[in-house]
Amino acid sequence: MDGGLLRNNGGTVMQGKTLVTGAAGFIGFHTTKRLLERGEEVIGIDNLNDYYEVQLKRDRLEVLQQNPRFTFHCVSVEDGENVSKVLAEGGFDNVIHLAGQAGVRAPPSDADLYVASNLVGFCNVMEGCRANNVKHLVYASSSSVYGSEAVPPFSANHCVDHPQSLYAATKRANELLAHSYSYNYELPTTGLRFFTVYGPWGRPDMAVYKFTKKISEGEPINLYGNGELLRDFTYVDDVVDIILRVVDSPPTNEYNGAISPATSQAPYQIYNVGNSQPVAVKELVRLIEVAMGRKAQVHYEPTPLADMEITHADVQELEDAFGFRPTTNLREGIDRFIEWFHDYHSRAIE
């Protein structure tokens, strides 16, 4: 498409310029790459912190910087002054906010990191969107908001007031803060509750990458709850497909249905983004073993209090709105990840 002109789902021609926070992160990298491929100009910000290997973030960034329509700023979302500056100078149509402190097993000593990044940082981004008339803010929430009392399959219309972790509590707070801005300032916001996203260029602290690396190095892996915990593993390409559909379709304040926790008369919406097919973690390990042709050494440990027994996404609202739902099965996704893993790490050795 010439000149950055795009067509949204309705076929309308639009000029695209998007800010992606957390652009050097896992989902941020894939989202930015796809936006660039469809002809958009993208400004990315990331603080390149050391929550996991910084080199992986730099390698993702190197891929993105090969495209002349991509500009990067090393900025933390906690830095309100510089976030405001980037937003004021950008003239953005949309903001996709994927930056934040991840991890459900946060020790008490890290509470300030979660508050700074996930609460203060989120408010900085929202205020910048409000002040600069951004058309749509799409932000990352999490399946972990459902907590201990959720009944699977988890619906975005369920009450989510009993999170099990500090991380989950900050993500739920993001949803409430977003509604206040949507209601008071008519800032269209959409929250996406991601369910265990995996795939090439993934996070090394997540199960798929962590298990693969340990098996490849002959090290033991730890499984919680006898490996019976169920997770709704969702392939990253499916996630990005949804992000792009959502960002092109901001919610309005003309909602005519029954108001629910996922909707409002304000321009506000929440969707689940999951594969809707929970798989036991021990089955994940088996699929990795098959793909690698190697057996895992497994140690079993008690389930941490912050971990949920099951995650299972009900994505009916998403399918109703966009006619699309994640479809990549876990075996196919694992095969693609293992192929990338071998290629990436062989190049690193060279």
Instruction: Name the active-site residue from 114, 139, 146, 167.
Output: 167
CB-based contact 262:157 (threshold 8 Å) = yes
CA dist 305 and 166 (Å) reads 12
CB-based contact 65:72 (threshold 8 Å) = yes
CB-based contact 143:278 (threshold 8 Å) = no
Is 167 annotated in the active site? yes
User: What are the backbone dihedrals phi and psi of residue 205, each rounded to the nearest 5 degrees, phi first?
Assistant: -85, -10
CA dist 159 and 156 (Å) reads 8
CA dist 239 and 116 (Å) reads 26
**Residue indicated by tokens 């989202």:** 31
Query: How many CB atoms within 10 Å of residue 219?
Result: 10
Three-state DSSP class for 236?
helix
User: What are the backbone dihedrals phi and psi of residue 142, each rounded to the nearest 5 degrees, phi first?
Assistant: -155, 150
Q: Structure tokens of 237?
A: 């390409």
Cis status, amide bond into 153, omega within 30 of 0? yes
Beta bridge partners of 6: 14
Q: Is the dihedral of CA 163, 166, 168, 170 positive or negative?
A: positive
CA dist 77 and 119 (Å) reads 10
Active site residue ranges = 167
